[in-house]
Structure 1
Amino acid sequence: MNAYDLVRGLHILAVIAWMAGMLFLPRLYAYDAEQNAKPEPLKSEMQALLRTWQTRLLRIILNPAMILALIFGVWLFWLRSGQGADWSFAHQPWMITKLIGVVLLFGWHGFLAGQRKKIAAGTSKYSGRFWRMTNEIPFVLAIIMVLSVTTEWTLR
């Protein structure tokens, strides 16, 4: 086993955990938003439980997984370059596509984290329908990034 394969495996595991959290958190937000139509005793109890789950998911799974994915991703980038000797791959369309996807995922993660605070404060303006419609954003980005990296399409 070489270092690149080990780091790549760890990166994939971290990304799986990150993606799982990013696919589940909007679902919790949707359930939370839908509680507003329920009578008060049930609404308060369920929202308190959902908000605890949201916070724990973000702090215990999403944030650590994102940080590990970033660390292992940067490490892979460094190893792929031959420890800084050849950065030519960084200018290829497949890598640019991957990096754009990473930036978009970080943006979505930030948006989700910010919305958790607004939901907890009762100031979120988004409905359950919005959260269900946007739930697949991370997966669509993942499809694009994985296919760009695994096919390594280039300009010829």
Structure 2
Amino acid sequence: MDYLYIKALHIIFVVTWFAGLFYIPRLFIYQTEAEDKVEPAKSILQTQFKLMTKRLWYIITWPSAILASIFGIWLIYLNPFWLEQTWMLVKLAFVFALYFYHGFCQHIYNKLQKDIIKYSTFKLRIFNEISTIILFAVVFLVSVKSAISWVWGVVGILLFGVLIMLGVKLYKSIREKKSWDKAEKEIVNED
């Protein structure tokens, strides 16, 4: 198979893998929030979110992870000198981190399928941003390679992660304020 076709397939499956990893935590958040609903809405939502996560996880995310890895290994096989490049070693470290993240998503998925809710929606929102940080790191490493020091690149990614976490905290405080304001209006309207 031609190198460019293998590269194209690798990129396609990386994109679909990340799509699954971006969406699955959102479904975890929705399923966790559904726990606070009253019946029958709670049961209906829980059933629907379990089905959606199962389909996303086993029809898109897992196959994409496996195929992205197969084509990535194939590319390294065709270009073994990449393993001598610092940027590639750092990239592979981030890919390893992505598999760790994927495995932790599997752990959360297994718990939620059994109706075991261990994490708050706030923690899940923060967790959701990890894949974004890894994506930025990998894309920058592959795009700029040795044009910048990988150390500064990692520092930049860490700072980007801090900004994302601050954004999540800001979103939480705005959301809580809106909930508080809504509760106050309901109390005033009851009087």
- After TM superposition, which residue ranges in structure 1, 4 or more long, deviate above 2 angstroms? none
Residue of structure 1 in register with 2:15 after alignment: 16
Match of 1:92 among 73, 85, 92: 85
SS in 1 for 2:40: helix
**In structure 2, how many angstroms separate the alpha carbons of the residues matched to 1:15 and 1:126?**
27
Structure with the greater alpha carbon radius of gyration: 2
Deviation at 1:91, TM superposition (A): 3.0
Residue of structure 2 in register with 1:119 after alignment: 112
Deviation at 1:139, TM superposition (A): 1.7
Residue of structure 2 in register with 1:131 after alignment: 124
Q: Deviations over 1:47-87 (max 9, x none)?
A: 10001000110000001000100000000101112xxxxx3
Higher relative contact order (CA closer than 8 Å, sequence separation 6+)? 1
Residue of structure 1 in register with 2:141 after alignment: 148
**Count of aligned pairs:** 148
Residue of structure 2 in register with 1:6 after alignment: 5
**In structure 2, how many angstroms separate the alpha carbons of the residues matched to 1:40 and 1:108?**
33
Alignment root-mean-square deviation, CA: 1.5
SS in 2 for 1:153: coil
| Amino acid corresponding to residue 132 of structure 2 in structure 1 | F
Matches within 5 A, 1:41-56: 41-56=40-55
Q: Deviations over 1:65-115 (max 9, x none)?
A: 00100000000101112xxxxx3x313220111101110111111111121
Point out where structure 2 has 5 or more consecutive residues left out of the alignment. Answer: 150-191
Residue of structure 2 in register with 1:107 after alignment: 100
TM-score under structure 1 length normalisation: 0.89
SS in 2 for 1:40: coil
Q: Tell me the percent identity.
A: 36
